[in-house]
Structure 1
Amino acid sequence: MSDPREERRSHGAPPVAFDLAASEFRVDRDRIAGSPFFARLGGVTQVVSASGSGLLHNRLTHSVKVAQVARAIAERLAAEYPSLIDALGGCDADVVEAAALAHDLGHPPFGHLGEQVLDRLARHRFALADGFEGNAQSFRIVTTTDVGGPSAVGLDLTAAVRAAMLKYPWTRLHHPEPHPRFMSEPPRGASEPSDAPGTGSGKFSAYVTELDDLEQARAPFEGRLADWQQTVEASVMDTADDIAYAIHDITDFHRIGVLQHAPVSAELGQWQSNAATLAWLSDEEVRRQERMPGRSLELLRRRMHEKDSWIVSDEAFHAAVARVRSELVDELLSTPFDGSVEAEQAVARFSMRWTSRLVEEMSVVDNPSTRSGHVLLGGEQWHEVQVLKFLHRKFVLLRPDLALHQRGQARLITNLVEALDQWLGDRFEADRLPRRLHDLVELAVTEYEALARSEPAVLVGATGEAPQGRDAVHALARGRAVIDFVSSLTDKQAVSLMDALSGRSAQPWSDAFVL
C-alpha cells in the first residue's frame, strides 16, 4: 500500500509567488480565507437574518468558530491516537482548519431555507438530477467556479483538504457504485428523503460535474477507508460543525430573547416527571399530544432509538436532559440577557464550558458504525448535543414568526431564479447579461456538453430520460448557471437584485450583484 502522505498533497498547485505560506496546507487555508466566496458569508444567514444587530452568528462567524473547534480537536486527537490516525490516512490540523473554513462556502442566501428552495427549483424547473445541495456547492466552488487559484479554475487545493470537505463523499444518485443509499444501514445523510422517494440521497458533497475531483481527492485513501466513509479530517470538521451549531446557535437566541426560560423548562421538566408514563404510550398517542410539554422530547428519544441504535442509551438520554436542564435552563436561561457584563460573562462561560467538555471527550475508533465517522463524541456528550439541537429546532426553527419571514424569502428566491432564467432566454438582451452570469453559463455549457458525450446517464433527472439534443443539454447548463449565480449572493444582494429586476428599486444602480 502506498504512503498516503505525499498523495494527500497531490492534485493541488504548489505554492506560487503570491502565496504567503510555504506549507501546501497553509496555502490552502490562505486561499480559502482570501476567497470572495468566503467574504460573502458575512452577509449570509446562519438561522435568521441578523439585521445588523451583531448579536447573531452569520455564516462567516459560524465558519470561523467551526475552524477554531476543529483545529483543537485535530491537535488533541493527533497527539492521543497517532498510530491509528496514520493508518486511516492522517489528521493534520491545517487541513482540518482549511476544510472547516470552506465547509459553508456554498450556502445560499437565507440559510437552509434558501438551500431547500434552490434544490426544488433545480430539480423541477431545470430538470437537474443533482438539484442543489450546500455541501456540493461548496465543493464546486473550490474546484470549479472560484478563480483564485493559479490555474483560475477553482482554488487548486490539495487532495487532503478537498477530501476533508466531503462530509458526504458521494453524489446524489450515481457514485460510488453501489450507491450508499442502498446499504442496509445507510450512512448519515445517504438515505432518500421520505417525502421524495426516487430523488437520491438527501445529503451529498459533490455534483456529477465535480465527480473527477471527488475521485481524485479520495484516491489517497483507497484501501484505508470505505468509499462512502469520511476521512478522519472530514469527520473532525463534521463533528466541530455539530458542536458549534448546537452551542452557538443556542446562545445566539438566548441573547436576543427568543429562547425563553419557561417553555424550555416545561418541555424538559415535564418529560423528566412523566418519562415512565410517556414510554408506554403509542407513537400515535404521543404525536396527538405533541403540543403538550414533554411529548416532543419523547418523540426525539424514540427517533434516536430508531436511527442510532448503535449509540443510544436511555440512561445517557436521561442524564443529558438533566445536565441541559441544570446548566442551560436553570443557570443560563433563568436570567434574561440584558447586555450587561454579567450577562455576557454567563454566555461566555456556558459556551466555553460546553465546548471544552465536548472536545475533551472525543475519540478515534477503528471500526465505527455506518452512521458515524471515525471521530466520535463521548456517549454522554453525543446525547447532550442531540438534546441541544432538539431545543434549537423546537423553540427556534419551528416558530410561526420565523415561518412568516421564510415564506417571503422562499418566494423572493423563486421569483429571482425565474426572472434570471427569463432574462437568459431573451435573445434581445443576451449581450447585456451580468458578466458573472454570462461566464457561469459558458462554464456550465462546456461541462454539460462533455458529460452528455461521455456519461449521459448521470444527467438523467426526474423524467427518467437523458437529455436529447444540444438544446436540452444547454437548458441544463443554463439552469446550473442560474443556480450557481443566485447561490453566490448575500441575503441583501438577493433582495436588491430582485427589487431591481422587478422595477421596485429607487436607485438606477444597486450594489454589485456579483463576487
Structure 2
Amino acid sequence: MSVVPSVFRKNRKRVEPLAFHKKRKHEDRPSTAADEWRDAFERDRDRILYSSAFRRLAGVAQVAAVREQHLLHNRLTHCLKVGQMGRRLAQRLLADDEGFDGGLARDNRQSLPDIVEAAGLAHDIGHPPFGHAVEGVLREKMNPYGGFEGNAQSFRVMTKLAVRADKYDGLNLTRPTLNAILKYPRYREAKHKATEWHDRSHGQKWGVYRSEARDFAFARESIDDGDNAPGVTCDGRCGQVRSAAAVLMDWADDISYVTHDVYDYFRAGLMPLNVLGDSEERFLEFARNRLEEQKNSNWQEFKKAYDVIVKDVPLVAWGETREERVWLYEWMNRLITRFINAVEVKSPSMVSVRSEEQYLAEVLKQLTFFHVIDKPKLALAQEGQKKIIGELFDELLGAHDPKAGAAGSLKWPVLLQEFYKRMERESETGDYLWADDERSSRAVCDYICLLTEDQAVDLYQRMTGRSVSQGSIFGAWFD
C-alpha cells in the first residue's frame, strides 16, 4: 500500500509502505485508491472523531451539569478545543524549529499536528458521567480490581471498548497516536518518578490498567528514557517519560480548561474577576493550602503569577454588552497567545513549558476551585451525583449472577452483556485472565463510563424506583 503524507502532497511523491512509526497493532483493511490521500495519522483522528464514545461526551459535564441553561462548556466542546489547541502548538513548533521532529521519523514530522489533535480529542473519552466529581466513587469501587483512573479508562476505550471492525477490539490506532494519548504512561503500582513541579515530561498520576498490558507494550515499544535500550519490548517498566505529543496535548488540556472555565463562570456571575481584591486574603490562604499538596511547587512564583492576573482583570461586573464581550475575548486571546508561546523545544524529540506560564494557569485553576467548584451550590449537587453513580454501580453488579451462566446476565443492558462476553474471550485466549468478581466489576465500570449523564440518571431511576432532582446550581437558594 502506498500512502501520500501531507508533507509530500505538493510534489506528489510516492513513499514507502507504512513504516515502524505508523505501525498499527492489528493488520488493517487495505486502503482503496479513493482514500490514499489520507495518511495513517489523519485516519486516527477521523476514527476517534466518528466514534460513538466521542459523540457521547456531549452529554457529560465539564464542571457544572450539561442541563444548565447558561451556555457552558461540556466534555465534547472541551475536547474539541484541546484538539485544536494541541494542533496549533505542534504547528508553531514545527514552523519555528526545522530540527524539531517530536520523536517521529523525519518523513512523518509534519504529521505531528494530526497526532496531537487526535490525542486531544480522545483524552477525556473514558471519563464517567458527571466528570471528576464521581471518579472517587469508581476508584473506591474498583480498588480491589485494578483500580480506576479516567486516563487509563480513555486508553481502554481506544484499545478495547470502541468498535470499528470485527477482527479486533478498539480503533486500532497507530503507535504514535496511542503513545500521545498516554498522559501518564505507567501502571498503578509502578513507583512514581519524582520530578520538578513544572517538568511536564512526567505526569503525577498513573494511566493504564494491567488488562491493557499488550496495548501498552505496543504503544511504548521503542520508548527510551535511559532506563531501557531502544527497541526492547516494554513490559510496563520502560520508563515514564511522555512523548512530545503527549506533553503538547497535556498543556493544551490545561490551556483550554483554565481559559474556558474562567470565561464561562465570569459570564455566569459565579467568578467576580472585577472584585478579586475583596477576597484576596481568603483566596491566597485557600490556594496556599491546596498547593502544599503539590510537591515542589513554589509559593512565591504562584503569588507573582496572581499579581499578573489581578492587574489585567476587568473593573466592572459582567453585563453582556458588546464592549464587555470584546474585552473578554481580547483578554482570553492574550492569555492563550502567551500560553502557546510558552512551549519551547527542549531537544529534537522533546518540548518543555516555561514555569511562569504554568503558574499563571495554576492561578486561574485555583480561582475556579475557590469561586465555583468548592462552593456549596456545586459541592452539594456533586454529592448527589456521587450517590447516583455509586448506587447504580451496586445495582448493576447485584443484578448479575456469574454462577448462572448466560442467564445470569439477563438483567443487564445488552451493551453491558457484550462487555462481559468480550472479557470472557480475553480469558480464553490468554490475553488477560479475569477472575469472576474482577470481570463483573470491570464490565460494570466500563458500561457506566460510556453513559451520558441523562442515561445514567434514567437507568438509576429505573433500577431503584427513586426520582432524582435536576435542579440548577444557578437557581440554588443557598450559598
Instruction: Report the TM-score when normalising by structure 2.
Output: 0.81
- Matched-pair contact (CA < 8 Å) for 1:137–1:206: yes
What are the Cα deviations for residues 388-426 of structure 1, in whole angstroms up to 9, with x where unaligned? Answer: 111112222211221111111111001101111111128
Q: CA deviation at 1:85?
A: 3.3
Q: Is the aligned partner of 1:104 residue 2:124? A: yes
Q: Is the aligned partner of 1:400 residue 2:379? A: no
- Matched-pair contact (CA < 8 Å) for 1:412–1:495: yes
Aligned 1:176-215 pairs, distance under 5 A: 179-181=190-192, 183=193, 185=195, 203-215=205-217
Aligned 1:37-48 pairs, distance under 5 A: 37-48=53-64
What are the Cα deviations for residues 94-134 of structure 1, in whole angstroms up to 9, with x where unaligned? Answer: 011111101111010001012221111112xxx20x21111
Q: CA deviation at 1:180?
A: 3.7
Q: Is the aligned partner of 1:66 residue 2:82? A: yes
Gaps of 5+ in 2: 1-15, 232-237, 469-479
C-alpha distance in structure 2 between counterparts of 1:376 and 1:361, whole Å:
8
C-alpha distance in structure 2 between counterparts of 1:381 and 1:261, whole Å:
19
Q: What is residue 9 of structure 2 aligned with on the other side?
A: none
Closer, same or farther: CA 483–187 of 1 in aligned 2, 3 Å = farther
SS in 2 for 1:230: coil
C-alpha distance in structure 2 between counterparts of 1:68 and 1:111, whole Å:
21
Q: What is residue 256 of structure 1 aligned with on the other side?
A: 268
What are the Cα deviations for residues 173-193 of structure 1, in whole angstroms up to 9, with x where unaligned? Answer: 2xxxxx342x45499999xxx
Closer, same or farther: CA 301–146 of 1 in aligned 2, 3 Å = closer
Closer, same or farther: CA 150–339 of 1 in aligned 2, 3 Å = farther
Closer, same or farther: CA 184–203 of 1 in aligned 2, 3 Å = closer
Aligned 1:128-147 pairs, distance under 5 A: 128=145, 130-147=146-163
C-alpha distance in structure 2 between counterparts of 1:97 and 1:68, whole Å:
6
SS in 2 for 1:364: strand
Give the paired residue count: 430
Which residue identity is paired with 2:318? F
- Matched-pair contact (CA < 8 Å) for 2:184–2:204: no
What are the Cα deviations for residues 147-181 of structure 1, in whole angstroms up to 9, with x where unaligned? Answer: 124735101111110000000111112xxxxx342
- Matched-pair contact (CA < 8 Å) for 1:163–1:231: yes
Which residue identity is paired with 2:263? T
Which residue identity is paired with 1:66? V
Closer, same or farther: CA 503–300 of 1 in aligned 2, 3 Å = closer
Aligned 1:493-504 pairs, distance under 5 A: 493-504=455-466
Q: What is residue 365 of structure 2 aligned with on the other side?
A: 389
Closer, same or farther: CA 210–87 of 1 in aligned 2, 3 Å = closer
Q: Is the aligned partner of 1:11 residue 2:24? A: yes
C-alpha distance in structure 2 between counterparts of 1:424 and 1:19, whole Å:
45
Q: CA deviation at 1:446?
A: 3.1
Q: Is the aligned partner of 1:81 residue 2:97? A: yes
SS in 1 for 2:99: helix
Q: What is residue 230 of structure 1 aligned with on the other side?
A: 242
Q: CA deviation at 1:364?
A: 2.0
SS in 2 for 1:439: helix
Closer, same or farther: CA 318–54 of 1 in aligned 2, 3 Å = closer
Q: What is residue 321 of structure 1 aligned with on the other side?
A: 306
Q: CA deviation at 1:15?
A: 6.3
Gaps of 5+ in 1: 174-178, 191-200, 271-291, 368-372, 460-472, 507-515
- Matched-pair contact (CA < 8 Å) for 2:339–2:357: yes
Which of the residues 295, 307, 310 maps onto 2:296? 307
Closer, same or farther: CA 82–217 of 1 in aligned 2, 3 Å = farther
Which residue identity is paired with 1:327? D
Q: Is the aligned partner of 1:339 residue 2:320? A: yes
Q: What is residue 285 of structure 2 aligned with on the other side?
A: 295
Which residue identity is paired with 1:80? D
Q: CA deviation at 1:247?
A: 1.0
- Matched-pair contact (CA < 8 Å) for 1:74–1:96: yes
Q: Percent of counterpart pairs with the same letter? A: 31
Name the Cα RMSD after superposition: 3.2
Q: CA deviation at 1:317?
A: 3.7
Q: What is residue 176 of structure 1 aligned with on the other side?
A: none
Which residue identity is paired with 2:376? P
C-alpha distance in structure 1 between counterparts of 2:459 and 2:358, whole Å:
42
C-alpha distance in structure 1 between counterparts of 2:65 and 2:288, whole Å:
31
